Structure 1
């Protein structure tokens, strides 16, 4: 396993003494990659930014094949570039919803052992498991989850008491 730490810096040099690096490292913000990223070879990850559309888009699933210092080697598992080898660099991310600007440089990936129904839309999977402990909460989501596999024997559903609610809108 290899651990990658982000490089966090304040954009305004006048504020650099007010916000220490440890504080910046501790920030966990929506849309901003984590400070620490732990990866192993062959682990599945999901790309969190558009890098090279249409092959490398937000939501593309990859398998890590090389762990470098500033690059990751990966194989695309889903989408247009399925089966292609790619290199993923560290990229800068500058959040805009803070009272100060800082830059975090990190790999734009997250571990991806599971995906949401929305992220699975448009994908074809060999095997899928659907966890329905909480009912589907939006029109069409149950259909999306169940229609990702081409063989019904490869669809596994967990629903307490064997029941769930499906929301369907009927237009008049």
Structure 2
């Protein structure tokens, strides 16, 4: 790794990453044989795919989860307000449609044994 003094940009070596043509090829390169290895947490902890946009993350997560055996379970967020008089200000359809950075989606689909990362506990004790 080198820093260009005029632009202050970091130049990464050519072997730093491998360009892939498709999302499936990327997943297979980062998580080879995931159906056999997904319960090996040491193996998983050495791998990650980063994406800049939530919809890309959701697509990658969906594709990875489809490669893992087992049935999915879907969990829904709570879509009510504490003060019922405020309910007209926040229609249920609006709450379900929100896709905010750092907040989970309304529907969360998981499989038993699939690791998840808790970024923030929004309801601590």
TM-based fold match above 0.5: no
**What's the TM-score once normalised by structure 2's chain length?**
0.36
Tell me which protein shows more helix as a share of its residues.
2
Tell me which protein shows more strand as a share of its residues.
1
